[in-house]
Amino acid sequence: MNASLPASLLFAGPESRLAALDELSRKHWLGGLTNSQGSLEPRLATLAELRRSLLIGVLPAPTSWPWPEATIAAALHEAMLALNLPRYCAGRQELADTVLMSVLFHLDFIVDYRDRGASETEALRMAIDAFADDWRERCGQIDELVDVFGLLPEDGKNTNWDQLRGLLRSSGWQEVLRIRRLLERLPELAKLIAGLGRSRETDEDDAAALTVVQLIEETTAPQPASRDVRVPDMPGETRGVRRSDRIARMLPAEAMLLGHPRLRLVWHARRAERTLLSYEDDDRLRETRLQPARVTVPRPGLLPTKKRKMGPILVCVDTSGSMQGGAEAVAKATCLEAMRAAHAQRRACHVFAFGGPDELIDMELSLDANGIAGLTHFLGQAFRGGTDICGPLEKVVAKIEEERWQLADLLVASDGEFGATPDIVARLDAAKREAGLRMQGVLIGDRETVGFLEIADAILPVRDWRRFGAEGGAASPIHSHRLTAMYFPGALRSQENRDATVSPEAAAAAVREGRKL
């Protein structure tokens, strides 16, 4: 009664014909079951084998395909190799599944072409050509996406591909491709952006970030040293009894001998022989002297901390009218490279494009169809308007307070023609001090400005920015970008300058009293 029941054989036979469906994606089931070419079992077995092969980047010989017939299999194999589809599908399951769905779709049209009057050879050629044309365009677009972003977008395999296809045909995308080619001429920009963020500690020292620590160093200093010095016959603490010739320390029993007429001679003999019983004194003196010795002493010192990389990136891009031309191209390249680096390393990236007051574009760049559309729209725009740095810096300080962006670094790409208010500078300094925010500047201009020097921890100058305009241009005529720091050091809002600055009321009172400040 407890024996297990035998397995039912009612559906075993029909289900065995569909065993290959277990290896296929569910999206292949309908096409695999209803395709007009060949019979069911060979078709499902071939689809399963092709799926396994494409995922490892190879394509089996058509002679080993049980489906479709030899002529169709040879033509399809030749087209897939010509398009190099195995390379595209290696490790990309969704793309490999899309290729198989496309194969089923186009081969199913052979019957329709025959019904329209085409011969068997013509119908096969039309189906294979349609398949090749479809994937030739898609492979080219995949190459463009990988070249621009370093990897295929998250929904670029099949989902929303029609949206991406339309986007990649737009004029804005051509501007993206131009900016991508520009990045090849700015290798230092890619290196700078790769080092932003504070999520992971490296082995490299950061000379710009110094920490006050207690250093231990060796030196020579006088140290007290004690020793015992023996001083003979020095009165001191009684330690015991010994034999000597000291009359002052002899025992009373020895002194009794002096009162006897005969034993007094014994006393004299003992004294001569230094054998009188006497008290023994502690005749050692402890002496302390200062002697030079090697000692270790602590002293405050500065040590560089380890550089931190691979964290979120906050980017402020200047879109004012002064950025038109080559500076605009470099600013766009900075934005594109930030997105490339962030998503190649699975980091978050948020961009603030700022112009005049209330002209602020706030967008998070995600590597999907919507993110690419937003980036393409932004890079396709022309820059114009005034410059207001306070708005984006307020947004940055607010972002740093969010948990997701606490380890982010800030990158500002601008020509430096701006000035932040003292309140914004103070809030930014507080974020640097308390949250560890680092601010990197990309100077797209001929010289640094007071506004840039006040907020940036480090500045990367792109001195030949004129060359990157659409029409090209000459290099910077300025010999150095540090002209402001060189000739106007008192203009910077440093602590020393703040301490030396007096209020208008104090200056007026000094003038009235005839005093000099």
Three-class secondary structure assignment of 470-495? CCCCCCCCCCCCCHHHHHCHHHCCCH
Whether 280 and 326 map to the same domain: the answer is no
Q: Is 408 inside any structural domain?
A: yes
Q: Is 373 inside any structural domain?
A: yes
pLDDT at position 1 over 50: no
Q: Is 509 inside any structural domain?
A: no
More confident residue, 117 or 214: 117
Instruction: State the chain's mean pLDDT as an integer.
Output: 78
* pLDDT tens-digit readout, 386-398: 788 888 899 888 8
C-alpha 389/C-alpha 212 separation (Å) is 33
Whether 397 and 457 map to the same domain: the answer is yes
Whether 266 and 386 map to the same domain: the answer is no
Mean pLDDT of 434-450: 83
| Residues in a beta bridge with 216 | 298
**Six-digit token pair at 184?**
């090849």
* pLDDT tens-digit readout, 344-371: 777 788 888 888 787 788 888 776 667 7
Q: pTM for the complete prediction?
A: 0.59
pLDDT at position 155 over 80: no
* pLDDT tens-digit readout, 398-430: 888 888 888 888 888 888 888 888 888 888 888
Contact in structure between 17 and 41 (CB atoms under 8 Å):
yes
Q: Is 219 inside any structural domain?
A: yes
Whether 353 and 268 map to the same domain: the answer is no
Contact in structure between 100 and 131 (CB atoms under 8 Å):
no
Domain boundary among 293, 323, 344: 293
Whether 345 and 469 map to the same domain: the answer is yes
In the structure, what pLDDT confidence band is assigned to residue 78 with cuts at 50, 70 and 90? very high
Domain boundary among 152, 172, 197: 152
Domain boundary among 293, 327, 358: 293
C-alpha 272/C-alpha 266 separation (Å) is 10
DSSP string, 275-313: -EEEEEE--EEEEEEEEEEEEEEEEEEEEEEEEEES--E
What element of type H or E holds 72? helix 70-82
Q: How far is CA 76 from the centre of its chain?
A: 45
Q: How many domains does one find in the chain?
A: 3
Whether 124 and 34 map to the same domain: the answer is yes
Q: What angle do CA 299, 302, 307 make, to 5 degrees?
A: 145
Q: Is 3 inside any structural domain?
A: no
Whether 113 and 221 map to the same domain: the answer is no
Whether 460 and 318 map to the same domain: the answer is yes
- Write the CATH number for 426: 3.40.50.410
Radius of gyration of the chain (CA): 45
* pLDDT tens-digit readout, 221-245: 788 888 777 776 666 677 788 888 8
Most confident of 7-11, 87-91, 373-377: 87-91
Pick the range with the lowest mean pLDDT from 77-91, 253-267, 455-469.
Answer: 455-469
Q: Is 194 inside any structural domain?
A: no
Contact in structure between 446 and 412 (CB atoms under 8 Å):
no
Q: Whose CA is closest to 334, among 182, 506, 513?
A: 182
Whether 272 and 320 map to the same domain: the answer is no
Most confident of 208-222, 242-256, 336-350: 242-256
Contact in structure between 308 and 213 (CB atoms under 8 Å):
no
Provide the strand spans (E) within 197-348.
200-230, 238-244, 276-281, 284-309, 313-318
**Six-digit token pair at 469?**
């305009």
Whether 79 and 119 map to the same domain: the answer is yes
Q: Is 163 inside any structural domain?
A: no
Q: Is 166 inside any structural domain?
A: no
Whether 384 and 243 map to the same domain: the answer is no
**Domain, as residue range, for 249:** 213-293
More confident residue, 36 or 478: 36
Whether 249 and 106 map to the same domain: the answer is no
